[in-house]
């Protein structure tokens, strides 16, 4: 698109910044960036495709107004395509079809487009034939109406977004209201709360009410406001309805909490995610090799780490499993839990796991 410096685009999968994502070639965590095109600010949210990481999809859908359905020009729609598309249609997002990797030698873009239209019809889409589509190659950096194109820029895709995806329906004059959809952490400022502002405006120093799942409410002061700019964030003096914003100074916020004007707090409907489908028992490493490969080896370490994971991993469930050093961990599938186990191992935790 010509909007980023070359140094910002090192590597092939720019948004897959997690080590496990790069190694496995999949998206695990939802992330968002922002870019300006023809005077319009476009927020882009990259979500996982695999159903095991459906919680990542479900928690960010409300920040979007439309969805780009990315389909491989050879493989066609896959089970994860159906899953993500179903979730997007449930919240009323407007779809655009992007047939990706058309520069593959074995690409069959026209056939894949027909398969995708059949999928949309199966899912009950209104008039699938009227849904806009475009052919592209993310690796080569071009998009075109021509399925046989092999060069160009990505700007035709951005033009399609501006033409067919509506801007947010916002109310700048109503009291401030947003939902926490993502939690980040900084060693300097602590917890950072990310979400899209539904209404009103927010500035550093404003007082807000944090409305929790149990109906309780706590007043806090927003210490900092940041807006997403390209691949990073910049400090802002004010953010308004429609912006995806990062708020600093709310240490006890959980995903799904509503952050509202202190004088007129109104809660938003909470995020709903599908229930876990698979469970495993996590316990301390009691083998003869305990303590050889990690530095966090006690049940207290294990408990604290799992409780911390619950703050951001909305599809996970953790409960006591009888013995005090055992925990029943439930997730959306083997891939979901295996990524958690590998992440903990790399962080220095030692644990034993039972069979699913």
pTM of the model: 0.80
Q: What is the CATH number of the domain that holds 189?
A: 2.40.30.10
Which domain range does residue 32 map to? Answer: 6-164
Reported as a single tens digit per residue, the pLDDT across 156-174 is 999 999 999 988 888 888 8
Q: Let me know whether 130 and 224 are in one domain.
A: no
Task: Specify whether the CB–CB gap between 257 and 216 falls below 8 A.
Answer: no
pLDDT of residue 21: 62
Domain boundary among 131, 164, 197: 164
Quick one: 115 and 51 in the same domain? Answer: yes
Which pLDDT band holds residue 333 (cuts at 50, 70, 90)?
confident
Q: How confident is the model at residue 9 (pLDDT cuts 50, 70, 90)?
A: very low
Helix (H, G, I), strand (E, B) or coil at 31: strand
Residue 272 lies in a domain: no
Domain count, the chain: 3
| CATH at 68 | 3.40.50.300
Looking up residue 305, the CATH number of its domain turns out to be 3.30.70.870
> Using 50, 70 and 90 to split pLDDT, how confident is the model at 205?
very high
Q: What are the distances in angstroms from CA 308 to CA 11, 191, 254?
A: 30, 12, 11
Instruction: Tell whether 133 and 229 lie within a shared domain.
Output: no
pLDDT at 144 over 90: yes
CA distances, 186 to each of 56, 66, 153, 193, 203 (Å)? 20, 30, 36, 11, 20
Q: Report how far residue 227's alpha carbon sits from residue 26's, in angstroms, rounded to the nearest whole number.
A: 27
Is residue 23 in some structural domain?
yes
pLDDT score, position 122: 92
């Amino acid at each position: 698109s010509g909007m980023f410096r070359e140094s910002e685009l090192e590597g092939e999968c720019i948004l897959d910044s997690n080590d496990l994502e790069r190694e496995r070639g999949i998206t695990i965590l939802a992330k968002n960036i922002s870019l300006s095109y023809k005077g319009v600010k476009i927020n882009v949210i990259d979500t996982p495709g695999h159903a095991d990481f459906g919680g990542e999809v479900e928690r960010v859908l409300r920040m979007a107004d439309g969805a780009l359905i990315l389909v491989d020009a050879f493989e066609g729609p896959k089970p994860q395509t159906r899953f993500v598309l179903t979730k997007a249609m449930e919240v009323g997002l407007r779809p655009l079809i992007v047939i990706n990797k058309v520069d593959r030698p074995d690409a069959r873009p026209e056939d894949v487009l027909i398969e995708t239209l059949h999928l949309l019809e199966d899912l009950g889409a209104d008039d699938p034939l009227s849904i806009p589509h475009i052919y592209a190659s993310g690796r080569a950096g071009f998009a075109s109406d021509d399925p046989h194109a092999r060069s160009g820029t990505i700007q035709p895709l951005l033009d399609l977004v501006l033409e067919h995806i509506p801007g947010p329906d916002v109310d700048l004059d109503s009291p401030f209201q947003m939902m926490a959809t993502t939690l980040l952490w900084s060693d300097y400022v602590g917890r950072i709360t990310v979400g899209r502002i539904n209404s009103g405006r927010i500035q550093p120093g404003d007082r807000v009410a944090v409305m929790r799942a149990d109906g309780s409410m706590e007043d806090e002061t927003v210490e900092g406001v940041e807006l997403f700019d390209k691949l990073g964030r910049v400090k802002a003096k004010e953010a308004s309805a429609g912006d995806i914003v990062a708020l600093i100074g709310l240490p006890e916020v959980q995903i799904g909490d509503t952050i509202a004007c202190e004088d007129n707090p109104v809660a938003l409907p909470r995020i709903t995610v599908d229930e876990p489908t698979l469970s495993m028992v996590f316990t301390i490493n009691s083998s003869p090799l305990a303590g050889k490969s990690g530095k966090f080896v006690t049940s207290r370490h294990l408990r604290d780490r799992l409780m911390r994971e619950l703050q951001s991993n909305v599809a996970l469930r953790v409960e006591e499993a009888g013995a005090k050093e055992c925990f029943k961990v439930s997730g959306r599938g083997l891939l979901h839990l295996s990524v958690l186990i590998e992440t903990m191992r790399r962080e220095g935790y030692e644990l034993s796991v039972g069979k699913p």
